[in-house]
Amino acid sequence: MNDVEISAARRLYWSVRRELWENRAIYLAPLIVAALVLGGFGLSLFTLPDRMRAASALNPAELRTAIEQPYVIAAIVLMAVDLLVAVFYCVDALYGERRDRSILFWKSLPVSDLTTVLAKASIPVLVLPLVTLVATAVTQGIMLLASSAVLAANGMSTATLSAHRPFLEMSRINLGHILMLHGIWYAPFYAWLLLVSAWATRLPFLWAALPPVVIGIVERIAFNSTHFATLVGHLVGGPSRSPGDPGETASGMTMEMLAPHQLRDFLVSPGLWGGLVVTAMFLLAAVRLRRQRGAM
C-alpha cells in the first residue's frame, strides 16, 4: 500500500476550495456588485467636469466630502455584500450538507470534522474579507483612473482629485477596516451562525436570530437592563463603539483602523480577545455537533 501522507494543511486547502466550488457567490456577488457600482459611476462621469467646476466654489471640507462620496459609497456597498454573503453562507454551511445528505459522502473521506469546520469558518473570517478588499481596491482604482481620464480629457487638473483620494491611502484604510472589523471582530458572530447551522434540524435562520432576541427581551423584563442588547450593539458597531456610550453615532465607527493608536487600542481591547475565546468555543461546539449529527 502506498502510504503517501497528506498534511493537515493540504486537507484544509482542499476543504476551502470545495467551499468555493459550492458557493460561487463568495466571489461572484462582489464581482457583480462591483460591476454595477462601476456602471453607475461610469454614467455619473458625464457630469463630472461640470460638478468639478461647481465644486471649486465650495469650501475645502465640502469639496472633500463631494469628491469622497462615490468612493465611500462603493466601499460601503461592497462591505454590505460581504456581510450579506457571509451571513447566508454561515447559516447554510453545516445545515445544507445534512439536509442534502452529502455529509455522508464528506464523512467517508479522511477529513476530520475540525478541518471541515475550520475551512468553513475561514470563508467569512478570511476569504470573504480578502475578496472584498481586492474588489474594493480594484473598483476604487478604476473609479479614480476613469475620473482622472475624464478630467484630463476636459483639460482640467486632476490634482484636487488625487489630493483628496490618494489611492494607497484609501486601500490602506480599507485593508484595516475590512480585515479587522469584517474578519476578526465579527468572528464570534459568524461562529454563532455556524454553531446554529450545525445544530438546527430546520429553520436555521430563525434559530440563529431567536436566542439573542429572547435574551434581550427577558433581560429587559426581568432586570430592566439592556446589557445584552448593548453587547450585541457593541459587536455589530465595531470596536470603537464602546458599550455604555449611547451618545456615539454610527459614524463613530471609524474606518481608520490601521492608524497606530487605533491598531493598538484594537489589539488590547478586551472585546477582541473575549470575542476570540467565544469564537473558539462556538466552533468547537460546532465540531462536536457535526460529529454527532448525521444526515437528516
Partner 1 sequence: MAYIEARGLRKTYGATIALDGIDLQVDEGRLVGLIGPNGAGKTTALNAIVGLTSYEGHLRVLGRDPWTQRDQLVRDVCFITDVAVLPRWMRVSQALDFVAGVHPRFDRAKAEAFLAKTMIRPASKVRELSKGMVTQLHLAIVMAIDGRLLVLDEPTLGLDLLFRKQFYDALLSEYLEQSRTVLVATHQVEEVQHVLTDLLFIDRGRIVFSRSMEEVESRYQEVLVHPDRLATARTLHPIAERQGVGHTILMFEGADRRQLAALGDVRTPSVADLFVAVMNSRQALPQGAAR
Which residue ranges make up the site for partner 1 (CB under 8 A)? 1-6, 10-11, 13-15, 17-18, 21-22, 97, 100-105, 107-112, 291-292, 294-295
CA-to-CA separations, 26 to 68, 102, 156, 217, 291, in angstroms, rounded: 27, 20, 39, 34, 26
Pairwise CA distance, residues 158 & 155, whole Å: 9
Q: Which is nearer to partner 1, 3 or 155 (CB)?
A: 3
Q: Which long-range contacts (CB under 8 A, 24 or more apart) does 281-287 make?
A: 282/188, 282/191, 282/192, 282/194, 282/195, 283/117, 283/118, 283/121, 283/191, 283/194, 283/195, 285/195, 285/198, 286/94, 286/117, 286/191, 286/194, 286/195, 286/197, 286/198, 286/199, 287/113, 287/114, 287/117
Rounded to a whole number of angstroms, the minimum distance from the CB of residue 112 to partner 1 is 5
Rounded to a whole number of angstroms, the minimum distance from the CB of residue 139 to partner 1 is 28
Q: Which is nearer to partner 1, 23 or 132 (CB)?
A: 23
Rounded to a whole number of angstroms, the minimum distance from the CB of residue 295 to partner 1 is 7
Rounded to a whole number of angstroms, the minimum distance from the CB of residue 82 to partner 1 is 22
Using a 10 angstrom Cβ sphere, with 0-12 exposed, 13-18 middle and 19 or more buried, the burial of residue 2 is exposed
The SS3 of residue 4 is coil
Rounded to a whole number of angstroms, the minimum distance from the CB of residue 107 to partner 1 is 6
The SS3 of residue 195 is helix
Q: Which is nearer to partner 1, 103 or 257 (CB)?
A: 103
Q: Which is nearer to partner 1, 13 or 223 (CB)?
A: 13
Q: Which is nearer to partner 1, 150 or 283 (CB)?
A: 283
Rounded to a whole number of angstroms, the minimum distance from the CB of residue 170 to partner 1 is 36
**At what angle are helices 128-153 and 60-93 packed, to 10 degrees?**
150
Q: Which is nearer to partner 1, 104 or 203 (CB)?
A: 104
Rounded to a whole number of angstroms, the minimum distance from the CB of residue 4 to partner 1 is 5
Residue 168: name the closest of 137, 134, 143 by CA. 137
The SS3 of residue 255 is coil
Using a 10 angstrom Cβ sphere, with 0-12 exposed, 13-18 middle and 19 or more buried, the burial of residue 229 is middle
Rounded to a whole number of angstroms, the minimum distance from the CB of residue 249 to partner 1 is 43
Q: Which is nearer to partner 1, 107 or 220 (CB)?
A: 107
Pairwise CA distance, residues 246 & 138, whole Å: 36
Q: Which is nearer to partner 1, 6 or 280 (CB)?
A: 6
